Every structure is written in C-alpha cells, then in structure tokens.
Amino acid sequence: MFEPVFRAAWEGWGIVFSWPNLLYPVVGTVLAMTFSAVPGLSGVTLMALAIPFTLTWDPVPLMLIFGPFIGGATFMGSVTAILFNIPGRSSCAAVLLDGHPLAQQGKAKTAIACSASSSALGSTFGILVLVALMPFLRESTLFFGPSEILMLTVWGLTTIAVLVRGSVLKGLAAAGLGLLLSFVGQDPRTAESRYILGSLYLRDGLDLLPVSVGLFAVAGVIELAAGGRRMISEKSRFEQLPGGVREGVLAPWRHFSLFVRSSVIGTLVGIIPGVGGTVASFIAYGHAVQPAKAPENFGKGDIRGPPAPEAAVDAKDGGALVPTLGLGIPGSSGTAMLLLALILHGITPGRAMLTNNLTLVFVLIWSLFLSNWLTSIFGLASVSPLSRLTVLPIAFVAPIILVLATEGVYLAKTQIEDVALAYVFGVLGYLMKAHGWPRIPLIIALVLGRAFERNLQLTLQLHRLGRIYFWSRPLVLSLIILSLTTLAFHYFQDRKARKVQGVLEL
C-alpha cells in the first residue's frame, strides 16, 4: 500500500529539486509573495490570471508553479497584519490580535519572525499529514460531516468564556453582538433575508475582511491620530527595539505542544471543504487561549498568540489537498483553481489521478513545501527593514495605513460598499477600545457564528430525517466533552482565584 506512495514521493522530490525545474517554484513564490503582500490580493487571483497562460504548458511545470500559488505565500498576509493591523486576507486576522500589540511594544521583528517560522513549520506539518494520509485520502474526507463541524465551532465559541474574564458583561455583550452580526444575510435553510435593511450588498452577510480591517486597522488609525502617539512602536529608534528575530523563530519550538495542536486544527479544518482558513485560524487562536496560563495576556501582545493561527492557516493548505486529491472536491478557493487547471490539462483529479499520476501529485506537494519554506526565509531576511516601519512617524505612517486598508478592502471584491463597511466598523472598533469593550469576542463570534448556524441547521434536518444519529458519532461526543471540560476548567479556575483573592482580602 505504501510502497508506490514512497516511490512516487521520491520521484516527485527528484523532479522538484532538479535544474531548471527548481526555477518554477522560486519564480512562483516570488510572484505569490508579491501578490500576497498587497492586501486584498492573493494566490487565487494570481491563479485566475495564470490559467489561460499556462494552458499550453506540460503538467509538470504547471504543478511546479501552482504549488506556490495555492498556499506558498500565506504568511505575507500576516506581515501587514502585524505591522499595521491590516490582515492581507481574512484568515490572517487572528494573527494581528497579538501580532500588532507585539509590534506596538517594539517587537515587530519577533512577531514577524515568529509568524514566518510558524508558517513554514505549520505547512510542513500539514504536508506530512497529507503524505501520511495518502492511502486513505477518501476516507479522511468523509469522516467530517455537518455535526462534526458544528461541534468544532461550538468548541471555538467556548473560547469566549475565557476571553471575557475580567469584564464578563462587556465581553458577553460584544460576543452577542458578533453573533447577531453573523446572522445578517440570508437564512442558510430558507434563503429568507434577515437584517439586510433592504440592501442587496448585505444579502451575503458581512464580509470578514472589511469587518476585521475596520475593527482593527481603521480603528487603530483613529486611535493613533487621536492619541498623540508618535509612532506605532513604543520606541522611537530602530536600535532601541527590544524584540529579537531568534526569539520569534524559536517561539513555535518553545510552545511546541501549542504549535502541534494548532497545526492539527488547521489540517482538520482544511480537510473539511468549505470551512476555510479564517475559521481554522480563530479556532486555533481560541485553543491557544483556553488552556493557557495567564490567558488575560492574550490580545495584549502575548508571544503565544501569533504561532497558533499562523500554523493553523498554513497547515490547512496540506489538509485542503486531501479532498482535492482524494475525491476531486476542492477544500479551498486555491485548490478549486488548481482543480480547474488540472481539468483543462486533461487530468482528472481524484481516484484516477492518484492511480495514474501519483508522481505529479508529489511534484505539487513538494513544490508547495519548498515554496512555504522559501517564503519564510524571504520573510526572515526582510524582518529588519520591515520592523523599521514601526518607528516611522505616525504622521507619515497613518495615511499609508489608511490607504493600504482601503485599497486592500476594495481590491478583494471591488465593491465600494466594503470600504464603507470597514469605516463603519473602524468607528465601532475605536469606540469599543476607548470604552474598554473587548473586540476579540466580537470577531470570534462573527467568524464562527455563520459556520455554527449553517451546520446547526444541517445537523437538525439530517437528525430529524434519521440520516445521522448525532449522539452516536465519536468525534461529536469527543468535541462535546472537550467543550464541557474547557468550560468546567475555567469555571473552577475562576472560583479558585476568587477564593484566593478573598483570603488575601481578609
């Protein structure tokens, strides 16, 4: 069973790491990095543009160049998130929750280096899982149904209980607002419009990119302008910046168990088609907070914050290839474009490809692997010049942030309403910050609320029809136990803390 897989893996490795084939992933990585560095653009746009040009190519160079396009430069979207609070794409929004506060502490170098190394390690994890699952790709994909996704989102939502400690009412109100906002749009079952105020634009619900850019980047600019701060970082000179690259690179190793758990979450979410990197990154972030000592440090520049979502988002790319290669069903928008390119080259993804073109599959996998490492290496090399941006005067940086935020939000879907939405959430984010209302519960509830509702509706319908038995599914039961344990753990921890506080006050 494994012998043909190993042989094909070895042949694929030889093809990728031979001259001049090596040029394709390198050029592809540079192109993907350039695109991904512009907020609002991504490898998917690049693939849409590349497909007509690559039509006459042989399948091998096609796979070599599409590897980087699928997920090679994901980490670049986190760079603008860390430096300016602008997520390059919505899946990078969770990175800014602690990444930007680190930059504000002068530790941009540490945060970017941490993201770069978590990205390379996370993608490697996802790819290793993909290779290990190669003989069972079909079975792995079919293991996750709506009830499993539902409980995964419930587990993610329990994070809110941890995040609201200290300001319970405000935190729960923010999470409630996030859940309410996630209901804007069409009911996933009946297609009836809810809370859309007669606007077609709102029919698809609130897009996460403008919301997160507004809540954090635009609000950040208002705060910078209003607060009299002179630069993003607390320090005014580059030489004074305290964080080091080494500390960042080693962060995923120092918190290795967190890194592994986040990568597992990313890979699992990647395997489930249609759930997406944003959900993966927020569940992973939540998971970083849940069992942590001193969870109150999260959101304020905790070094454990960036590696969890970064590793999850990059591990997701390996996971997303599982349904694509196993069943010909894309697990993400990037793999949907890959599928199209393969079909246009006369290659049938799925069982036929695994039987007849396994070496080609590994060419794609190793190209993606190489590209992720190249992106991280390029990213590490540019840490110093990038972190200098945090000591530039606010008068110079703030307008650039606002332009980048506006451009990023507009470019993603070329809808001017997205820009207006970002600005509305910018004001809301600023007011929330100014009055001590936490924004993280709002964004987590908004991200997970939509997936929660859709899968709850599906689970209820299937359960009523007798198509699934909710209580007899092992993964569902495990996730219920995990969610209850998380809540109980924090309840008892809180009680213990209150008792200690009571004794001290006595």
Partner 1 sequence: MVNGTGGGDDTLSRFIAPHLGRVLGADILVESRGGAAGVIGVRAIRDAIPDGLTLGLINAAGFVAPILAGDRTVPNPTTDLTVLCRISRSRHVWAARMDSPLRSMQDVLKLSRERPVVFPISDLGAVAFISATLTSNLLDLPVKLVAGYEGSRSGVLAALRGEVDLISYNLESIIENIRNRDIRPLLQISDKPLSGDPAFENVPLLGGPDGMAAAHAGSIHHDVEAAKTEATAIAALLGAGRIVVGPPRMNRDLSVCLTNKLKQVLASPDLLSVAEAANVSLDVADGGTALAEFADLDQKSRKFIPIIQSAIERIRQ
The Cα–Cα gap between 171 and 13 comes to: 50
The Cα–Cα gap between 352 and 329 comes to: 13
Verify binding: residue 351, partner 1, rule CB under 8 A: yes
- The gap between the terminal CA atoms of the chain, to the nearest Å, is 68
Verify binding: residue 200, partner 1, rule CB under 8 A: yes
| Closest to partner 1 by CB, 262 or 335 | 335
- Residue of 23, 27, 48, 403 that binds partner 1 (CB under 8 A): 48
Decide: 56 and 96 in contact? Cβ < 8 Å. no
The dihedrals phi and psi of 393, each to the nearest 5 degrees, come to: -60, 140
Amino acid at 505: E
Q: State the Cα torsion 103-105-109-111 to the nearest 10°.
A: -60
In angstroms, what is the minimal distance from the CB of 242 to partner 1? Answer: 41
C-alpha distances out from residue 447 to 35, 131, 177, 206, Å: 25, 30, 12, 10
What is the DSSP-derived secondary structure letter of residue 230?
Answer: S
Cα 380 from chain centre: 20
Q: Between residue 136 and residue 175, which ones bind partner 1 under the rule CB under 8 A?
A: 141-142, 145-146
Assign 153 to helix, strand or coil: helix
- Residue of 26, 173, 260, 340 that binds partner 1 (CB under 8 A): 340
The Cα–Cα gap between 2 and 498 comes to: 55
Size, binding site for partner 1 by CB under 8 A: 55
Verify binding: residue 44, partner 1, rule CB under 8 A: yes
In angstroms, what is the minimal distance from the CB of 304 to partner 1? Answer: 33
Verify binding: residue 488, partner 1, rule CB under 8 A: no
CA dihedral (303, 309, 315, 317) positive or negative? negative
| Closest to partner 1 by CB, 459 or 483 | 459
In angstroms, what is the minimal distance from the CB of 204 to partner 1? Answer: 6
Count Cβ atoms within 10 A of the Cβ of residue 180 and give its class: 0-12 exposed, 13-18 middle, 19 or more buried.
middle
Residues 6+ apart with CB under 8 A from 112: 78, 79, 82, 83, 248, 379, 380, 383, 386, 387
> Which residue's entry shows tokens 């960036």?
306
In angstroms, what is the minimal distance from the CB of 104 to partner 1? Answer: 34
Q: Between residue 238 and residue 297, which ones bind partner 1 under the rule CB under 8 A?
A: 273-274
Verify binding: residue 344, partner 1, rule CB under 8 A: yes
In angstroms, what is the minimal distance from the CB of 285 to partner 1? Answer: 24
Verify binding: residue 346, partner 1, rule CB under 8 A: yes
Please provide the DSSP assignment of 407-446 as one string: HHHHHHH--HHHHHHHHHHHHHHHHHHHTT--SHHHHHHH
The Cα–Cα gap between 308 and 306 comes to: 6
| Closest to partner 1 by CB, 332 or 387 | 332
| Closest to partner 1 by CB, 258 or 338 | 338
In angstroms, what is the minimal distance from the CB of 349 to partner 1? Answer: 6
Cα 208 from chain centre: 12
Stretch that binds partner 1, among 293-301, 348-356, 479-487, 497-505 (CB under 8 A): 348-356
The Cα–Cα gap between 420 and 398 comes to: 18
Q: Where are the beta strands (DSSP E) in 452-492?
A: none
| Closest to partner 1 by CB, 68 or 220 | 68
Verify binding: residue 59, partner 1, rule CB under 8 A: no
The Cα–Cα gap between 389 and 393 comes to: 9
| Closest to partner 1 by CB, 189 or 246 | 189
In angstroms, what is the minimal distance from the CB of 427 to partner 1? Answer: 24
In angstroms, what is the minimal distance from the CB of 193 to partner 1? Answer: 9
Token representation of residue 270: 């990647």
List the x/- string, 452-481, binding to partner 1 by CB under 8 A: --xx-xx--xx--x-xx-------------
In angstroms, what is the minimal distance from the CB of 184 to partner 1? Answer: 13
Q: Between residue 304 and residue 323, which ones bind partner 1 under the rule CB under 8 A?
A: 323
Verify binding: residue 330, partner 1, rule CB under 8 A: yes
In angstroms, what is the minimal distance from the CB of 320 to partner 1? Answer: 12
| Closest to partner 1 by CB, 102 or 320 | 320
- Residue of 229, 230, 413, 473 that binds partner 1 (CB under 8 A): 413
In angstroms, what is the minimal distance from the CB of 300 to partner 1? Answer: 36
The dihedrals phi and psi of 47, each to the nearest 5 degrees, come to: -65, -40
Q: Between residue 355 and residue 394, which ones bind partner 1 under the rule CB under 8 A?
A: none
Verify binding: residue 343, partner 1, rule CB under 8 A: yes
In angstroms, what is the minimal distance from the CB of 341 to partner 1? Answer: 9
Verify binding: residue 345, partner 1, rule CB under 8 A: yes
Verify binding: residue 433, partner 1, rule CB under 8 A: no
Verify binding: residue 47, partner 1, rule CB under 8 A: yes
C-alpha distances out from residue 402 to 170, 419, 436, Å: 28, 11, 23
Verify binding: residue 328, partner 1, rule CB under 8 A: yes
* Interaction site with partner 1 (CB under 8 A): 44-45, 47-49, 51-52, 55, 141-142, 145-146, 186, 188-192, 200-201, 203-204, 273-274, 323, 327-330, 333, 336-337, 339-340, 343-346, 348-352, 413-415, 454-455, 457-458, 461-462, 465, 467-468
